Amino acid sequence: MTNKLLFIIPSFRRGGVERVTLNIINSLDFELYEVTLMICTGNDNFMKQLLHSDVNVIELGKDNVRSSLSYIFKYLIKYKPNLVFTSFNHLSLAVLFFKNITRGQYKTIVRANTLPSNRLKSNFRGQVYSIFYRNYIKKADQIISQSDEMREDILKYYEVNPEQVITIRNIVDTDMILSLSKIKQNEFMIDDKIFNLVAIGSLGYVKGFDLLIEAVNNLIKNGQTQYRLYIIGDNREKGEDYMSTLKNMIKSYNLEKYVYLLGFKKNPYAYLAEADAFVLSSRKEGFPNVVLEALVLGIPCVVTDCVDFRGIIKDGVNGVVVKKESVEELERGIECMTKIQTDSSFFIENFDYNNWFGKLI
């Protein structure tokens, strides 16, 4: 009998969590598993086009996750999957709660997408929610952390059994990245005298793009006018118009010819492939998959120490690690990039989810 796997995700339009989910699903052996991806919201879930053809896709088209819950619960009762995989806390909480009250027999895997300590500064409602989540995550069959640092954070803040938590580095689909990267774009001024910097991520304060623009401004003022910065992404956080903040910075510093906000791009790899360097300026991250993707394309990276990059970034070889929340450190890192010559020999050994899922079930 083929085992049934259910992946549930809020949307499938953009973001690192969505790309990791895509890569995990596509790595599976569809002779062993019957795979369903349930997408709660939205109609522009274009990433489903990249899924293996044997994946059963269910798009609920709801306005939010909350309004999807009744359908999710009915599906769990009717189709009885063997394993349910979630990556967002609010979805994980709902699935774990429902399993507990119905005594469901399916295995539950919760993938953490950020350090629990990143969520400590929340309002009263968020703190109450965290208490419930801390209790129910203990009922998960397995919890995936993206790094050893995240694993320690999970053990500390959720007080779960250490055997429940496994560290699995994000899967990277090298073939897909290389294929999509060959689709050329016309928004780069390719010139030997220009050094193209690319930054990618949803526009929000945690990404530190304001610090990055400040750093580029300082370099330009100091006569290093060879730099061009391209930021790919759009607003994602409710109530935060970070794009307007960045636009105002660009205008006030007269950087219109040096810094470009390209908005959301369905294929960021085409831009990344043309970069001279990738910059991760984040104040906080879970684990930034885009750094691995840049290295696959042979693009050196400036990254902040928002997560542990040991074993990935080798200073002076394929990039440089700088202190987070420091404009001066970002300046230093960008200047270092002009001296690094890297290639696309970066190799990632992906985790075998086929074998792991089989053992769990």
Average pLDDT over residues 281-308: 92
193 and 100 in one domain? Answer: no
Q: State the average pLDDT over residues 343-349.
A: 72
Beta bridge partner(s), residue 340: none
Give yes or no for a contact between 344 and 296, defined as CB atoms under 8 angstroms apart: yes
Distance CA(98)–CA(82), nearest Å, equals 15
Q: Name the average pLDDT for the chain.
A: 90
Is residue 35 in some structural domain? Answer: yes
Same domain as 98, residue 215? no
**pLDDT tier at 277, thresholds 50, 70, 90:** very high
The reported pLDDT for the residue numbered 116 is: 82
This prediction's pTM: 0.87
Question: Do 299 and 197 fall within a single domain?
Answer: yes
Same structural domain, 32 and 120: yes
Same domain assignment for residues 356 and 299: no
For 127-172, write each residue's pLDDT tens digit: 666 777 888 899 999 999 998 888 999 999 899 999 999 999 899 9
Q: Rg of the chain's alpha carbons, rounded to an integer?
A: 21
Residues 66 and 166 in one domain: yes
135 and 207 fall within a common domain:
no
Tally of domains within the chain: 2
Average pLDDT estimate for 260-269: 92
Residue numbers of the domain that contains 26: 3-171+350-360
The pLDDT assigned to 287 comes to: 85
So what's the pLDDT on residue 131?
76
Residue 319 — pLDDT band, cuts 50, 70, 90? very high
Rounded to 10 degrees, the C-alpha dihedral 4/142/169/326 comes to 130
Do 167 and 179 lie in one domain? The reply is no
pLDDT at 121 over 60: no
pLDDT digits (tens, 9 = 90+) for 46-103: 888 999 999 999 999 998 899 999 999 999 999 999 999 999 888 999 999 999 999 9
Mean pLDDT value of segment 298-325: 93
| 109-137 per-residue burial string, b: 16 or more CB within 10 A, e: under 16 | bbbbbbbbebbeeeeeeeeebbeebeebb
Residue 358 pLDDT > 90: yes
345 lies in some domain: no
Q: Does position 109 have pLDDT exceeding 60, yes or no? A: yes
- Range with the poorest average pLDDT among 190-194, 247-251, 314-318: 190-194
* Whether the predicted pLDDT of 255 surpasses 90: yes
DSSP symbol at 32: T
Residue 343 lies in a domain: no
Per-residue pLDDT, 311: 84
Question: Average pLDDT for residues 34-40, to the nearest whole number?
Answer: 96
Whether 342 maps to a domain, the answer reads: no
Instruction: Using the predicted structure, report yes or no on whether residue 236 has a pLDDT greater than 80.
Output: no
Residue 214 lies in a domain: yes
Share of the chain above pLDDT 70, in %: 93
What's residue 269's pLDDT? Answer: 93
Domain-located, residue 131: yes
Task: Give me the residues paired with residue 315 across strands.
Answer: 319
Residues 10, 35: one domain?
A: yes
Give kind and range of the element (H or E) at residue 308.
none
On the question of pLDDT at 262 being above 90, the answer is yes
Does 123 have pLDDT greater than 70? no
Non-local CB neighbours of 44 within 8 Å, separated by 6+ positions: 13
Within this chain, do residues 159 and 204 fall inside the same structural domain, yes or no?
no
Q: Are 209 and 241 part of one and the same domain? A: yes
Using an 8 Å Cβ cutoff, are 200 and 290 in contact?
A: yes
Does the pLDDT of residue 120 top 60, yes or no? Answer: no
| Residue environment code for 225-236, b if the CB has 16+ CB neighbours within 10 A, otherwise e | ebbbbbbbbebe
CATH code for the domain of 10: 3.40.50.2000
One domain, residues 74 and 157: yes
